[in-house]
Amino acid sequence: MPNQKILVLTEQFNNQSPLFDPLRSAGYEVVVNETGRLPTAEQLKAMLADNVVATIAGGEPYTPEVIATASSLKIIARWGVGYDQVNVPAATSAGIPLAMAFGENHESVAEYAHAMALSLACGIGRRDAMVKSGEWYFDGFHPGLWGRTAGLIGLGRIGGAMARRLIGQGMTVLVADPQLSQEAAADAGVKIVDLDTLLAQSDLVSIHAPSIPSTRHMMNDEAFAKMKPGAIIVNTSRGPLIDQAALLRALKSGRLGGAGLDVFEIEPLPENDPLREQSNVILSPHVSGMDRMAEELVTKRCINNILTWLHGNPSDLVPYVVNPETLSLKENTK
């Protein structure tokens, strides 16, 4: 009988990586996506049909149709913390737990968001380009961030890690988050405000909210018009939270001082997208959570989640699974 397979579908690994040795030692054939691209839904269907019992998932689409054809699939272990590309009800109906790597790369994402904000506020990108082009002159005072006000949309793990960095550099931190209690806000050293107040008072707005129907295009023309003139916006969360056409209008009008984007409505960002031409925009290819520490920690969590589900105690997965009802299904079959 052929070995059961585990697919590693993220874009950053190769088959030689020793990180997956625990899966090989457990008797599984590990197949790593080395194409540099995520599979489409049709490609994923074909891949999952070949005796695949688990995946370490990137951002490939687990649609109801994909899940319905994956007869051998027992668990999806998501490399990261977002799961908007997985149809959770379909996975739940199929008895497939969606296990996340919560708590492993939030510092990485926050550090990246902070770096984007600092680079924009200090004009590092444009000054680097100036000197490299052979020029040398004073191009005006940059706004900076210390002593100013930051607004965080969402204060989960990543938002909390961002808040610590901003407070450490002397910023006042406002937070708009309907789930945040006054006690938790006090512990984090932040102030709860409504979104309109946050937009009006913040020199930096950093987005750390999930991509759900109610947050789609929450940053639109109306929201940008409410922002403090010259403010900076950073998004390392999910692309659909920003209406990119509205963002472009706000940048071109001079309303915004700059934008740092690691995520986009369409990924990869189309080659002809006008955001690529804006000098006050920093763009990166959805990599904010991928520092060397996260590479090891997130991968180990995915592997542990898979092996725990296939060979261990399902209750150990409770902190990581977004559809915990699937765990009781397995418990009841023991």
Q: Is the pLDDT of residue 245 over 70?
A: yes
Is 268 in the same domain as 302?
Answer: no
pLDDT tens profile 151-172:
999 999 999 999 999 999 999 9
Tokens linked to 231 = 């403010």
Q: Is residue 83 within 8 Å of 60, Cβ to Cβ?
A: no
Is 112 in the same domain as 143?
Answer: yes
Instruction: Report residue 328's pLDDT band, with 50, 70 and 90 as the boundaries.
Output: confident
Tokens 């004009």 — which residue?
A: 123
Catalytic residue status for 217? no
Is 63 in the same domain as 86?
Answer: yes
Range of 176's domain? 106-283
Is 217 in the same domain as 269?
Answer: yes
pLDDT tens profile 45-65:
999 999 999 999 999 999 999
Q: Is the pLDDT of residue 216 over 60?
A: yes
Catalytic residue status for 286? yes
Instruction: Report residue 3's pLDDT band, with 50, 70 and 90 as the boundaries.
Output: confident
Is 30 in the same domain as 167?
Answer: no
Which residue type sits at 104?
E
Q: Is residue 92 within 8 Å of 68, Cβ to Cβ?
A: no
Catalytic residue status for 111? no
Per-residue pLDDT, 2: 67
Average pLDDT over residues 124-130: 96
Is 42 in the same domain as 84?
Answer: yes
Instruction: Please state the domain count of the chain.
Output: 2
Torsion of CA 108, 148, 210, 83, to 10 degrees: -10
Which residue in 114, 165, 286, 301 is the catalytic one? 286
Per-residue pLDDT, 81: 87
SS3 30: strand
pLDDT tens profile 282-305:
999 999 999 999 999 999 999 999
pLDDT tens profile 173-195:
999 999 999 999 999 999 999 99
The CATH number of the domain holding residue 128 is: 3.40.50.720
* Chain mean pLDDT for the chain: 96
How far apart are the C-alpha atoms of 320 and 307, rounded to whole Å?
13
Is 169 in the same domain as 247?
Answer: yes
Is 222 in the same domain as 89?
Answer: no
Lowest mean pLDDT among 79-83, 172-176, 259-263, 272-276: 79-83
Is 243 in the same domain as 303?
Answer: no
Average pLDDT over residues 118-143: 97
Per-residue pLDDT, 236: 98
Is 65 in the same domain as 192?
Answer: no
Angle at 163 between CA 162 and CA 168, to 5 degrees: 100
Q: Is residue 70 within 8 Å of 91, Cβ to Cβ?
A: no
Per-residue pLDDT, 31: 97
Tokens 């599979």 — which residue?
A: 39
**How does 295-325 read in b/e, with b if 16+ C-beta sit within 10 Å?**
bebbbebbbbbbbbbbeeebeebeebbbbee
Is 117 in the same domain as 37?
Answer: no
Which residue in 148, 208, 238, 301 is the catalytic one? 238
pLDDT tens profile 69-126:
999 999 999 998 889 999 999 999 999 999 999 999 999 999 999 999 999 999 999 9
Instruction: Report residue 334's pLDDT band, with 50, 70 and 90 as the boundaries.
Output: very low
Nearest to 158 by CA among 86, 207, 200, 117: 207
Which residue in 34, 135, 267, 325 is the catalytic one? 267
Is 127 in the same domain as 208?
Answer: yes
